[in-house]
């Protein structure tokens, strides 16, 4: 490259920046559905229904019976970094909602066609809103609907040509990830009825997930995994330090209690589904001391103060930075070792990389 003149440095156009950044926040179908389901849960919904059309390729809707959106918020609803959940950096240390960055609706606008139907308890009728890729409202009309919100995204990734092609090619895989993601929320959400349906050209509406909205983890596990799997599980509870604990269910030790793949492992931090590779590696390694051929089923929730971890590591907030990771892993290891053949276990904490 050397030798030529230095090219001028210029700002990238706003709409190009918006599109580029949005593709990082919403990188596949499941990340799009995740954002909408989390918005519904943040709005206090007790029923959340996910409707996929063509496995999500044509469009998808997430509707809820939450608070609804007040007319005074319509214009700001899909603007980047506009949120009702935090107002400054300090609020982050105590944030209890799934969302707080005000990026999801704005990003979905940039990547497809967004429509919102909503009504609060203070409104007699609902409103249907249409949005431009920029996030601005382009259409507003009155409609009859119950209190709550339904967000529809049509033609996700139609504004990103490469992603769009891959998205359509891998749609069944993307769909599978959505189901797994919904299972994660179905297991941990108490008192929330979660329904997912898919409609394809040939078939009419097909229910792919339906939970009862029960108030215990045990009942949720039975609904999602079935009672036979539940019989192979054992409650797990370990105190990490004062005010910090991990609890849930783990496969009992011994043959036949696990699975041939690690597809039934769900980890949470204060109810937020997270990817914690070191934790899953630890759980798998320790389980192998009692059952070498299988992977354990695991549903574990880390209940720790909001000040002791950071979810702002990756745009999808699934990566977690723990301030005392070693303490957490050591306590977890001790608890699991007590459950799975304590004497035989030679696993070292230094191996968890």
Q: Which of 61, 40, 39, 48 is nearest to 192 (CA)?
A: 48
Binding piece for Mg ion, criterion CB under 5 A, among 31-39, 148-156, 187-195, 273-281: 31-39
Q: Which of 95, 347, 41 is nearest to 213 (CA)?
A: 41
Does residue number 149 form part of the binding site for ligand ADP (CB under 6 A)?
yes
| Six-digit token string for 265 | 């492992």
Question: Taking the mean position of all CA atoms in its chain, how far away is CA 138?
Answer: 29
Q: For residues 11-50, which are near ligand ADP according to CB under 6 A?
A: 35, 39-40, 43
Binding piece for ligand ADP, criterion CB under 6 A, among 14-22, 79-87, 193-201, 243-251: 79-87
φ, ψ of residue 217 to 5 degrees: the values are: -60, -40
Are the CB atoms for 256 and 247 separated by under 8 Å? no
100 vs 322 by CB, closer to Mg ion: 100
Q: How many residues does the chain have?
A: 353
| Six-digit token string for 14 | 């706003």
What single-letter DSSP state applies at residue 215? Answer: S
Question: Rounded to an integer, what distance in angstroms lies between the CA atom of residue 353 and that of residue 248?
Answer: 24
Q: How far is the CB of 272 from ligand ADP (least distance, A)?
A: 13
Which residue of the chain is nearest Mg ion when measured via CB?
A: 99
Q: 121 exposed, middle or buried (CB, 10 Å; 0-12, 13-18, 19+)?
A: exposed
Binding piece for Mg ion, criterion CB under 5 A, among 39-47, 62-70, 149-157, 330-338: 39-47
Which residue of the chain is nearest ligand ADP when measured via CB?
A: 99
Q: How far is the CB of 97 from ligand ADP (least distance, A)?
A: 7
Kindly tell me which residue out of 22, 31, 39, 331 binds Mg ion, with binding defined by CB under 5 A.
39
Binding piece for ligand ADP, criterion CB under 6 A, among 15-23, 100-108, 182-190, 258-266: 100-108
Does residue number 316 form part of the binding site for ligand ADP (CB under 6 A)?
no
39 vs 331 by CB, closer to Mg ion: 39
Does residue number 64 form part of the binding site for ligand ADP (CB under 6 A)?
yes
Q: For residues 79-138, which are near Mg ion according to CB under 5 A?
A: 99, 104
Does residue number 100 form part of the binding site for ligand ADP (CB under 6 A)?
yes
CB atoms closer than 10 angstroms to residue 98: 21
Does residue number 290 form part of the binding site for ligand ADP (CB under 6 A)?
no
Q: Which of 184, 19, 37 is nearest to 110 (CA)?
A: 19
Are the CB atoms for 62 and 49 separated by under 8 Å? yes
The residues that touch ligand ADP, with contacts defined as CB under 6 A, are 35, 39-40, 43, 64, 66-67, 69, 77, 83-85, 99-106, 149
Residues in contact with Mg ion by CB under 5 A are 39, 99, 104
């Amino acid at each position: 490259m050397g030798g030529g003149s230095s090219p001028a440095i210029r700002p990238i156009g706003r709409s190009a920046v918006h599109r580029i950044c949005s593709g990082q926040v919403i990188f596949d179908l499941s990340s799009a559905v995740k954002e909408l389901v989390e918005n519904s849960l943040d709005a206090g919904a007790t029923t959340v229904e996910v409707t996929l059309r063509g496995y999500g390729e044509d469009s998808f809707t997430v509707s809820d019976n939450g608070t609804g959106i007040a007319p005074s918020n319509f214009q700001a609803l899909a603007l980047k970094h506009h949120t009702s959940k935090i107002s400054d950096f300090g609020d982050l240390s105590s944030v209890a909602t799934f969302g707080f960055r005000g990026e999801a609706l704005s990003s979905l606008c940039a990547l497809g066609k967004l429509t919102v139907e909503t009504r609060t308890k203070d409104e007699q009728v609902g409103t249907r809103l249409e949005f431009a890729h920029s996030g601005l409202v382009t259409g507003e009309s009155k409609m009859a609907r119950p209190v709550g919100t339904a967000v529809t995204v049509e033609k996700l990734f139609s504004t990103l040509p490469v992603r769009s092609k891959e998205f359509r090619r891998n749609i069944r895989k993307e769909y599978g990830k959505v189901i797994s993601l919904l299972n994660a929320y179905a297991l941990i959400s108490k008192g929330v009825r979660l329904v997912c349906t898919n409609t394809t050209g040939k078939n009419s509406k097909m229910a792919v997930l339906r939970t009862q909205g029960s108030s215990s983890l045990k009942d949720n596990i039975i609904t999602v995994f079935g009672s036979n799997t539940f019989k192979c599980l054992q409650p797990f509870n370990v105190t990490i330090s004062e005010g910090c604990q991990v609890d849930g269910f783990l496969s009992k030790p011994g043959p036949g209690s696990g699975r041939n793949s690690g597809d039934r492992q769900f980890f949470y931090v204060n109810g937020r589904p997270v990817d914690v590779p070191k934790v899953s590696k630890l759980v798998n390694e320790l389980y192998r001391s009692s059952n070498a051929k299988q992977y354990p089923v695991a549903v574990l929730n880390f209940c720790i103060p909001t000040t002791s971890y950071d979810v702002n590591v990756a745009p999808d907030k699934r990566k977690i930075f723990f301030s005392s990771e070693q303490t957490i892993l050591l306590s977890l290891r001790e608890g699991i070792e007590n459950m799975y053949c304590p004497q035989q276990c030679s696993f070292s904490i230094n191996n968890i990389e």
